[in-house]
Amino acid sequence: MTEKRLASRRRGLVALGLTLSVTLMGTAVTHAAASPAAGAQDALVAEGTPYRIVINNNSELDNMNAIVFQAAPKTPTEGYQLAWLVKKCHKHTQVIFNWEVEYSFVWGAQGDLGPGVNYQAGAVLPADLDGNNAVPLSYDGAYYFGDTGPGDKPGTMTVHQDDSVPGSGQLGQGSVGIGMSGAGTFVVPTEPKTGASFTVTPTYWIAFGSHQPGEVVTTDVLTEPYKLQFPNGDNYAEATFDGRDWKVQYGKLPPVSDPSPSPSWNPSPSPSWNPSPPPSWSPSPSYS
């Protein structure tokens, strides 16, 4: 990996408020948990909770993608955040992102990662933060996960890479990490006989850029990155970019049983009305 790429990644992680460290244990590298970033959104919400972000591009920025990505306050070293949710967003238009808090393990075929490089998703394996938060990873010319099971610590997702997994400088080195709602959010390059652990406290960011889903992103290669800070219990955000600043309003999505798609803070709907029924009439009797 080049010095330029390392420097770019480090600047991006610093901008996200991340501090990283490595702990050596025997011949394996264990990714140690970093300290939470100041002001990070660190309250876990229930799995299955729905979220929605509405992005209004009220600016002259055009022909760009609206991007949602995540950065966790506690991450492994040598980690890379990915463009997670992506939609084309022209000037003076709106895009909507919906997802649910559903965790997963992911692996990709690309191990030489840097800004703009796609990790080349190979598999997404459903997981949770308690009974299915650990999984083995092996390689026989292609990567494959084993069965998920309970990890050492609830809330931490761990990938146990065996000695068949290619590492740094080896042909076939890939990447492994975690995802949400069916897509990768954060990965690290594979290393043999190593446990990659991710302490899950997701923080959501929005930005504009040219990136596609699965590409490595850093705040220094994106346009107007902004960290969302959902108040406790809120799961809706409407973010408007006016060309200079973001303005964000938060609220709560209605329960699933409520057919209204509007968040709880929106103005009251128009008064209900019923059109008058058509006048009753009977067809003329037929004659034979």
Q: What is the mean pLDDT of residues 176-198?
A: 95
pLDDT at 240: 98
* DSSP per-residue codes, 159-202: EEE-TTS--TTSTT--EEEEEETTEEEEEEE--TTEEEEEE---
Q: Using one digit for the tens of pLDDT, what is the confidence trace for 145-180?
A: 999 999 999 999 999 999 999 999 999 999 999 999
pLDDT at 77: 61
Higher-confidence position of 218 and 259: 218
At residue 213, φ and ψ (nearest 5 deg) are -55, 135
Confidence bin at 43 (pLDDT 50/70/90):
low
- What Å distances lie between residue 255 and 43, 258, 263, CA to CA? 21, 5, 10
Q: What is the mean pLDDT of residues 259-279?
A: 46
Secondary structure letter of residue 267 according to DSSP: P
Let me know: does 98 contact 50? Beta carbons within 8 Å.
yes
Model pTM? 0.75
Q: Is the dihedral angle over the CA atoms 257, 261, 265, 271 positive or is it negative?
A: negative
Q: Using one digit for the tens of pLDDT, what is the confidence trace for 52-76?
A: 999 999 999 999 999 999 985 455 5
Q: Which of 1-5, 84-88, 152-156, 254-258 has the lowest mean pLDDT?
A: 1-5
Please determine, for residue 196, whether its predicted confidence score (pLDDT) is greater than 60. Answer: yes
Higher-confidence position of 78 and 242: 242
pLDDT above 90 as % of the chain: 64
Q: Which of 20-34, 115-129, 192-206 has the lowest mean pLDDT?
A: 20-34
Confidence bin at 45 (pLDDT 50/70/90):
confident
Average pLDDT, rounded, for the chain = 79
Please determine, for residue 112, whether its predicted confidence score (pLDDT) is greater than 60. Answer: yes
Confidence bin at 254 (pLDDT 50/70/90):
confident
Q: What is the mean pLDDT of residues 104-122?
A: 95
Q: Which of 58, 73, 25 is nearest to 229 (CA)?
A: 73
3-state SS, 58-71, equals CCCCCCEEEEEEEE
Number of residues in the chain = 288
